[in-house]
């Protein structure tokens, strides 16, 4: 009779687990196909690091992360023991009844203790400390799971150490352990704990590039996301995977400055919408339009997520859908019109750039080794032109063979991130033709946004063999190869601001390169509270450099305050967008006397003038 009851309970619990999981996977299967899986070996390495060894969970929140890891490893350790537990009810002992099971059981008992410690600490944090990122509303499912886990650990320890002498008590303990496991199984699909099932898959399938955007095929009437079924399968999978940890909430600059955008709630709203099978337009019914245009695409949410969700992608995809339907903020209209008509965001005539090029005798690319991509800021912005000329001074001093494109246009970064794929592809097509025709050995840029977008050109026909490199890496290489002889200058302490599109979008090496360059120039670096991969955005990404920020505190004001707390006398950066936003923020906060300098300016100060450098380098035209 007990076997019959147990069998019935197992079948029912498996049914109540499998049916809702299958429903969610069926929904995911309706999403647009993601790119084919590549770099399988690297995916497995990442899987073991982030899933098995919980590297990201621990790194970003060490104490709660370690507690979560103990619970996770405890469940892994219990897997065989749980199977053995149910098998014994049918007279089968898969782990045996001798020394092996006793030794393995001791290993599990150790993790039972560690898991108990972990879940109690996590429960104390959630229900007593109650950090804001976890949400104001207490989660009944989290409380129930904490109770379940403690019961499982205690009942196992009572059994392993034979602490119950009565056969009746032993049987009750066995049944309690079994029933809690089955109840937990039923709860999983209806709570955040579904991440136990889907998290490994979401992490494994995640793109290696943060917020990877693929071109829309207009011939196939691809217009971005308008309905829930327009989302990619990975975005849908991410909605069901969200563990509601709030790390994205904690690190979102829009959220931290009092705006409505909450990346965690975004994914939860998408989850609810997918389950309701709504056929209504996503924006306005599932997701509020306001939050789409508060995202600076800095990638802090995606970088932090421990279960492989990329929250930036659905935002950009919904922006694409909105722009395709003519629904976007009026503040974006000038940006789109200027890019389409003038090839730059500010409507400057091409003659402005031509005059700057002629006045400074910048060589037009003609078979040189390096094509120096000036970017819109380098071509048109009064302040950032000084950075471009500093880079020119560095190239000449190192004897590099370089030239520029005379008719270079904006890469279209702001248009693409703001959802205007049509204008982006129009600009990209012209630039790609010019770049492929020039066929440089290297494309060099001082702009992280150009760096990322030029690499995206490869999806649209840019020669994939042409390396595209940021000036922080390029200068660092010149220094290490002994081709750039600099004289250290006297600088005050510098606080370095990491650009999001370098520290998160590019690579961790791009956190190191700028600091190496600044130190070689003779400056010492002070670090703000948020730096490196956890840097706080300047507020310019996602096309918002060209829009008015009206809700909450201005993001660049928050960042400038963080930088100034260090007491540094100068601000260093390696991005033209950051350069402009930090200048403006300092001015707004009456700190205009604090200079903002690009890393190229620090180096150029210790170099001879261009004429002398060119004369010395004529016999050394190589990189």
Kindly state the percentage of the chain with pLDDT values over 90: 88
Task: Indicate the pTM of the whole model.
Answer: 0.91
User: In this structure, are residues 494 and 523 in contact, taking their beta carbons and an 8 Å threshold?
Assistant: yes
CA-based nearest residue to 536, from 504, 494, 506, 574: 504
pLDDT at 614 over 70: no
Q: What is the largest CA-CA distance in the chain?
A: 97
Q: Nearest-CA neighbor of 462 among 441, 443, 442, 435? A: 435
Helices (H), 161-299: 167-187, 195-205, 233-241, 247-251, 253-256, 263-276, 289-292
Q: What pLDDT score does 616 carry? A: 42
What pLDDT, on a 0 to 100 scale, did the predictor assign at position 622?
36
Q: Does residue 367 come out as left (phi exceeding 0), alpha (psi in the -120 to 50 range) or beta?
A: left
The confidence score (pLDDT) of residue 91 equals 92
- Residue 610: predicted pLDDT: 63
- 485 pLDDT above the threshold of 90: no
Q: Is the pLDDT of residue 242 over 80?
A: yes
- In this prediction, residue 277 carries a pLDDT of 76
Map 194-216 to HEC letters: HHHHHHHHHHHHCCCCCCCCCCC
Percent of the chain at pLDDT exceeding 70: 98
Sheet containing 402-403, strands listed edge to edge, beginning at the edge strand earlier in sequence: 402-403, 370-373, 442-445, 468-470
What sections of 52-139 are H helices per DSSP?
55-60, 62-87, 99-124
DSSP state of 295: -
Return the pLDDT at 615.
46
Residue 618 pLDDT = 44
Of the candidates 334, 284, 277, 287, which has an alpha carbon nearest to the alpha carbon of residue 315?
A: 287
- Domain 218-328 CATH (choose: 3.30.310, 1.10.1060, 3.30.160, 1.20.1290): 1.10.1060
- Average pLDDT rounded to a whole number, residues 257-280: 93
pLDDT tens digits, one per residue of 527-557: 999 999 999 999 999 999 998 888 999 999 9
Task: Say whether domain 2-205 belongs to CATH 1.25.40.
Answer: no
At residue 232 the predicted structure's pLDDT band, cuts being 50, 70 and 90, is: very high
State phi, psi for 162 to the nearest 5 degrees: 50, 50
The number of residues in the chain equals 623
What is the dihedral angle through the alpha carbons of 133, 134, 138, 143, rounded to the nearest 10 degrees? -160
CB 468 within 8 A of CB 380: no
Residue 331 CA to chain centroid, in angstroms? 26
- Per the CB < 8 A criterion, the answer to whether 297 and 315 are in contact is yes
Distance CA(279)–CA(276), nearest Å, equals 9
**Interval 396-447: pLDDT, tens:** 999 999 999 999 999 999 999 999 999 999 999 999 999 999 999 999 999 9
**Residue 39: predicted pLDDT:** 93
Q: What are the tokens at 259?
A: 């705006």
User: Rounded CA gap, 133 and 507, in Å?
Assistant: 27
The pLDDT value given to residue 620: 37
What pLDDT is recorded for position 617? 42
Cross-sheet strand order for the sheet of 570-573: 525-526, 494-496, 570-573, 596-598
Is the dihedral angle over the CA atoms 435, 437, 440, 442 positive or is it negative? positive
Domain boundaries, the chain: 2-205, 218-328, 336-617
pLDDT in tens, 551-604: 999 999 999 999 999 999 999 999 999 999 999 999 999 999 999 999 999 999
């Amino acid at each position: 009779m007990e076997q019959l009851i147990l069998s019935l309970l197992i079948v029912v619990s498996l049914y109540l687990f499998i049916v809702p999981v299958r429903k969610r996977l069926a929904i995911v299967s309706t999403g647009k196909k993601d790119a084919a899986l590549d770099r399988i070996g690297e995916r497995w390495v990442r899987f073991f690091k982030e899933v098995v060894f919980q590297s990201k969970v621990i790194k970003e929140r060490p104490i709660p992360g370690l507690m979560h890891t103990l619970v996770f490893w405890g469940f892994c350790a219990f897997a065989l023991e749980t199977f053995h537990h149910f098998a014994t009810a049918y007279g089968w002992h898969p782990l045996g009844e001798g020394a092996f099971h006793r030794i393995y059981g001791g290993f599990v008992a150790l993790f039972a203790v560690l898991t108990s410690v972990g879940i109690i600490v996590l429960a104390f944090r959630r229900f007593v400390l109650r950090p804001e990122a976890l949400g104001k509303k207490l989660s009944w499912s989290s409380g129930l799971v904490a109770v379940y886990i403690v019961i499982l650990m205690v009942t196992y320890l009572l059994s392993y150490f034979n602490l119950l002498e009565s056969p009746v008590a032993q049987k009750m303990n066995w049944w309690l352990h079994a029933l809690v496991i089955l109840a937990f199984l039923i709860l999983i699909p209806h709570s955040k704990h579904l991440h136990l099932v889907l998290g490994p898959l979401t992490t494994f399938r995640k793109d290696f590039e943060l917020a990877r955007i693929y071109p829309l095929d207009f011939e196939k009437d691809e217009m971005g996301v308008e309905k829930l079924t327009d989302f990619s399968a990975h975005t849908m999978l991410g909605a069901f995977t969200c563990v509601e940890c709030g790390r994205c909430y904690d690190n979102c600059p829009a959220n931290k400055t009092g705006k409505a955008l909450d990346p965690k709630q975004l994914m939860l709203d998408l989850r609810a919408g997918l389950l309701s099978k709504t056929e209504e337009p996503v924006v306005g019914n599932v997701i509020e339009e306001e939050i789409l245009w508060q995202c600076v695409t800095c990638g802090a949410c995606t970088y932090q997520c421990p279960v492989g969700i990329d929250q930036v992608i659905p935002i950009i995809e919904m922006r694409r859908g909105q722009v395709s339907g003519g629904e976007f903020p009026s503040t974006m209209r000038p940006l789109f019109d200027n890019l389409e008509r003038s090839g730059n965001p500010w409507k400057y005539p091409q003659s402005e750039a031509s005059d700057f090029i002629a006045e400074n005798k910048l060589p037009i690319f003609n078979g040189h080794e390096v094509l120096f991509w000036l970017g819109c800021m380098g071509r048109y912005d009064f302040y950032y032109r000084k950075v471009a000329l500093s880079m020119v001074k560095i190239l000449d001093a190192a004897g590099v063979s370089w030239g520029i494109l005379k008719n270079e246009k904006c890469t279209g970064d702001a248009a693409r991130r703001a959802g205007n794929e049509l204008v982006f592809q129009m600009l990209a097509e012209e630039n790609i033709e010019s770049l492929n025709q020039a066929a440089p050995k290297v494309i060099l840029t001082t702009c992280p946004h150009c760096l990322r977008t030029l690499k995206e050109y490869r999806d649209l026909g840019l020669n994939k063999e042409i390396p595209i490199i940021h000036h922080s890496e390029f200068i660092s290489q010149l220094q290490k190869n002994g081709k750039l002889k600099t004289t250290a200058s006297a600088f005050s302490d510098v606080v370095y601001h990491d650009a999001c599109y370098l520290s998160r979008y590019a690579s961790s090496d791009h956190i190191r390169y700028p600091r190496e360059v600044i130190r070689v120039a003779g400056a010492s670096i002070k670090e703000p509270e948020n730096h490196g991969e956890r840097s706080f955005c300047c507020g310019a990404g996602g096309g918002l450099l060209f829009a008015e920020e009206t809700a909450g505190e201005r993001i660049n004001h928050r960042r400038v305050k963080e930088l100034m707390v260090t007491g540094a006398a100068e601000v260093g950066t390696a991005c033209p967008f950051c350069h402009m936003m930090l200048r403006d923020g300092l001015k707004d906060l009456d700190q205009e006397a604090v200079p903002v300098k690009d890393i190229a300016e620090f180096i150029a100060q210790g170099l001879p003038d261009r004429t002398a450098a060119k004369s010395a380098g004529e016999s050394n035209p190589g990189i």
